[in-house]
A and B are shown apart, each in its own frame.
Chain A
Amino acid sequence: MVKNGLAVIGFICIVLLPLTVLSASPQEDIQNFQNYFLKLFPGVEKDEFGNGVYAIDAVARQNWIAIEEFPPYEPFVDEGKVMWETPFANGKTYASCFPEGPAQRKNYPRWDKQRSMVVTMELAINDCRIANGEKPLKYAKGQLASLTAYMAYESRGQIIDVKIPLDDPKALAAYEQGKQFWLKRMGQLDLSCAHCHARNAGRQLRSDVLSPALGHVTGWPVYRSKWGEMGTLHRRFTGCNEQLKARPFDPQSEQYRNLEYFLTIMNNGLSFNGPSSRK
């Protein structure tokens, strides 16, 4: 590998210098990550990246705008609202866990010092259910996606501002793990998330234009025509892992929660705009 050092350094300099330098602070990571995409796609406003591939693919964008006129996620938002308002068997509602109301997106993911783990909105919802004697919901799709669709809808416009608390080094460690996961080659195809969604963002993988990772976490859950239903962010992680012929982790596994933590921090400053539709 030593003899190939130059090639490695060349790649690092061009593409992902900040992310591969371990000592870079998260603040530097954010700047370098965002600047990379802003330079790669000049003319695309930062917040526009939240629309995924439709921010950079004019043709696909036309179809998408037409679809958004009667958003396919709307019935699921309605279902989620009913869930939010329907009392559990014990008479309480979700509001007993989320007194601020359903507009919770800005609070997640967050580092929970007591539990020493990243808590996502999906996890907090199931915690609430369990605390109230209800069964947890499945994490990839179904009712949980409907409830989070409603909550995301109510949260639209909130600005992402995920913090790494300085008083707990384990929070930074979780961030680092998420970052390393994102940069690591995996699966039989031996590719990292960064290879497709940073280095080749905007290029075409067969007929798919690869979306930039800036914007990857803003719009969930998503109604995907290919799925014919809603899915959560971790469902998509699973899909991309499988595409690499890598064994996927479970939705809400530590790996995916840390990945979400890292990716959401990389998206700090963008607005939450879920739920969304994708082809």
Chain B
Amino acid sequence: MHGEVPSFYPTVAWLVIFTILVGCSDDTSNPQTMANTPKAHSTALKTPPAIVDTEDTKAAGRDLAFDQQKGNCLACHQIDGGDAPGNIAPPLVGMKLRYPNRAKLRAQIWDAAVANPETIMPPFGRNRILTEKEIDQVVAFIWSK
């Protein structure tokens, strides 16, 4: 199982390191932490760039989360702004409080079975239901809820 998607561990490790270094406070909309500025890139080796959830990223994440053929989070979770949600799993609210560590939220979406083998949450990363980039977008959206 572990050999299947080698990109997972580096990503998580990166996020963990990032979380420790930068913290996961909700200042991600602060333009000063923009990841894509040249400055952020040049210092990336020492200090990973801060993640910034632009409105575009969050909108892309919302589309994926609501799309029945993609994330389809609404099948099981209530999400503010989503129509006809299911009630199989808890509503997605207060996510920054529930997941102060954003990497944990990503890991839960990537493969919830790691934390709970009897979960009924589909392993979006492990089974490649979503791409790594799509998962990042969904995380950005869900974390804003």
Contacts and interface: CB of A to CB of B under 8 A. Distances in A.
B30 interface: no
Contact of B127 (A7, A188, A204): A188
A206 B85 contact: yes
Chain B interface bracket (under 10, 10 to 19, 20 to 34, 35 or more): 20 to 34
A11 to B, nearest CB: 4
Interface stretch (B21-29, B46-54, B111-119, B137-145): B111-119
Contacts of B123: 190
Interface of B is mostly: loop
Interface of A is mostly: mixed
Interface string B53-71: 0000000000000001000
Contacts of B118: 4, 7-8, 10-11
B120 A203 contact: no
Contacts of A184: none
Nearest to B111: A190
B117 A1 contact: yes
Nearest to A10: B118
A8 B113 contact: no
B86 A204 contact: yes
B88 A204 contact: yes
B122 interface: yes
Given A189-B122, A190-B123, A8 B86 contact: no
B75 A190 contact: no
Interface of B: 68, 72, 74-76, 84-88, 113, 116-118, 120, 122-123, 127-129
27 contacts: A1-B117, A4-B116, A7-B116, A7-B117, A10-B118, A11-B118, A188-B122, A188-B127, A188-B128, A189-B127, A190-B113, A190-B122, A190-B123, A191-B120, A191-B122, A199-B120, A203-B87, A203-B88, A204-B85, A204-B87, A204-B88, A205-B75, A206-B68, A206-B75, A206-B85, A207-B86, A208-B86
What are the nearest 5 A-B pairs in CB distance? Answer: A11-B118, A189-B122, A207-B84, A188-B127, A4-B117
